Amino acid sequence: MENPAPRQNKFEWQHLIQEALVELDPEKLRAKIAEAESAIFNRLQGLGRDADGGQERNALQDASNTLLALKREVLKYPDWRV
């Protein structure tokens, strides 16, 4: 999986995604993914139906997709959509 260049994080939870992207140890990666997924879930709960949260919701969806790709491609989780 290609590592994107480090970038400025607009949202507080994004550093967890960046940490997962650079982790090489599979066990540590599992833990970092779980922590990032929890942060995504909690942030979505916090946003609720806030109309001003559209941009962050999109970023959360992208982050979730990134974590799913890490699980499939790096950790070899099965793709349940197939």
State the pLDDT at residue 65. Answer: 97
State the pLDDT at residue 7. Answer: 56
Residues of the chain with pLDDT under 50: 5
Cα 58 from Cα 50, distance rounded (Å): 13
State the pLDDT at residue 5. Answer: 47
Which of 35, 62, 59 lies closest to 47 in space, CA to CA?
59
Q: What is the pTM of this model?
A: 0.82
Q: Which residue type sits at 59?
A: A
